[in-house]
Structure 1
Amino acid sequence: MRRDVFQAIADPTRREIINLIARQSLNLNAVAENFDVSRPAISKHIKILTECGLIVIKQQGRERYCEARLEKLNQVSDWVEQYSKFWTEKLDSLEVYLNNLQKQKRKHGNKK
């Protein structure tokens, strides 16, 4: 199954794993110690994050370390940005409309 970055961040545990590893490279046991779930469950989350390209596993001696590759999160940022532009335009239009209403209200208020 092909996974993408949106699947990776959909789960709160995976988001927290990303947060942990973004600060420093951690071995698998150190990652698992931060959660109240089983080691196999954490391993499954790490596998998904690896498949999505958000982390890489590096072998150092007998230990396996997780390292963050956060560039892929730009896909999320780009996707969100299109909606940010949409809402900015809508809110700017609303501001213009409300300002025009205020002007009309003042204009009609001065005639009385």
Structure 2
Amino acid sequence: MSNQEKIEQLEAYKFRERFILDDWEDRELVPSSNSTIERMHKEVERFTDFLINQLAANVSNLQTQVQLYFNGWDNEYFSQDETEYIVEIEYEAMRIAGINIDKLMI
């Protein structure tokens, strides 16, 4: 798949509905506050925009750039459960972009 095709898929991915009540229940978690869920949405959008920008720039080391993104990610606002939930949601974006998730340290 070309970078342009990946970008188009990521643009569609970015605005999908996420963090809905049923998903929290499936994870056996108490839903976070509305403001926290909104921040979680923004975090997914920010990461997706990062991937789109990297693909548009045709970086040769996308895997490394994603690792550096997570190394610098300030996720102190989120609980451990919220952080894990965000990252699991972002797995789909990483797959679209061609990232080897198993090689990331998050």
The answer to whether the superposition gives a TM-score over 0.5 is no
Q: What band does the TM-score fall into relative to the shorter chain?
A: 0.3 to 0.5
Question: Whose strand fraction is larger, Structure 1's or Structure 2's?
Answer: 1
Q: Which has the higher relative contact order, 1 or 2, with Cα contacts under 8 A spaced 6 or more apart?
A: 2
Q: When the two structures are superposed, what TM-score results if normalisation uses the length of structure 1?
A: 0.34
TM-score (norm 2): 0.35
Q: Say which one has the larger Rg.
A: 1
